[in-house]
Structure 1
């Protein structure tokens, strides 16, 4: 089962994740979506790989690093988190509510769409 947390709980996830390595937030949205709104890395590495290219770009990810997946509302990111877990990634989470919730809970300056 993939763990989930809300954007407001990112700090707590980062704290526990650091026990397993440098945390990564993997934004799986499309480039056009990233132009509308994107998170600012703060205490984590931000990687942007569109969902459809994850299988081809899997080697860019370290299965030993903790990865929290992010999308618009949380559906695509959950699918990517499940895919990563099925490929041996042990510390994978989904950011429930996605960038939309991030704007509401963490950074109200972000555009919503």
Structure 2
């Protein structure tokens, strides 16, 4: 990723990355806002999809989406996590969808 997008690649270098146990029912890749976690199926994806997923999760971390959700909850109370996640995904995917060197998952929501 560093060769194609030095900024995003540089961010990815500062993020902690963890492989999950092979028997974990976790998604292919996800973040808690501080680290990126990889499920067993991640390694079987084509490189362009792997890169797209990593860039997606790194941007969630850089934009502090999980922390912003918690802050929004504190500010307004009840927040629809599913709607927040769709909006955050649309922002991240719209940032990435024009890049030819990565591939977003089929059905990735954009703005």
If the TM-score is normalised by the length of the shorter chain, which range does it land in? under 0.3
Q: Relative contact order (alpha carbons < 8 A, sep ≥ 6): 1 or 2 greater?
A: 1
Q: Identify the structure with the greater strand proportion.
A: 1
> TM-score scaled to structure 2, two decimals?
0.27
Q: Identify the structure with the greater helix proportion.
A: 2
> TM-score scaled to structure 1, two decimals?
0.27
